[in-house]
Amino acid sequence: MLTLSEINEEMKDLKDWSLEADSISKVVTFANFAEARDFVNKIGEIADRLNHHPDIYWQLDTVKIVSMTKCEKGLSKKDFELAKEIDRLETK
């Protein structure tokens, strides 16, 4: 598990993520349902490749991603690696 200092350093590299109790989260809104669906599917591909799966809440055109390392009950490098890959999806 990362220290608060390490977490704060990692947060600097993320775009629009929020630090919650023991997790990081991000909300992304799309133009329509189809765009949101495609985004969720891409997150699934990344999560499978990294073997680190976030919680995903999807309602119509809005997607919320919540990541924490469940076995550590907190944040690890895996959460930030996943978040950075998700951020890269939005720049494509």
Going residue by residue through the chain, which has 92 residues, state the pLDDT in tens, using 9 for 90 and above: 999 999 999 999 999 999 998 999 999 999 999 999 999 999 999 999 999 999 999 999 999 999 999 988 899 999 999 999 999 997 65
Name the residue type at position 50: L
Sheet holding 62-67, edge to edge: 18-19, 24-29, 62-67, 55-59
Rounded CA separation 21/6 (Å):
15
Token pair, residue 27, equals: 């909300």
Does domain 4-90 fall under CATH 3.30.1360.20? My reply is: yes
Q: What is the pTM of this model?
A: 0.93
Cβ(57)–Cβ(23) below 8 Å:
no
**Apex CA 30: angle with CA 28 and CA 33, to 5°?**
120
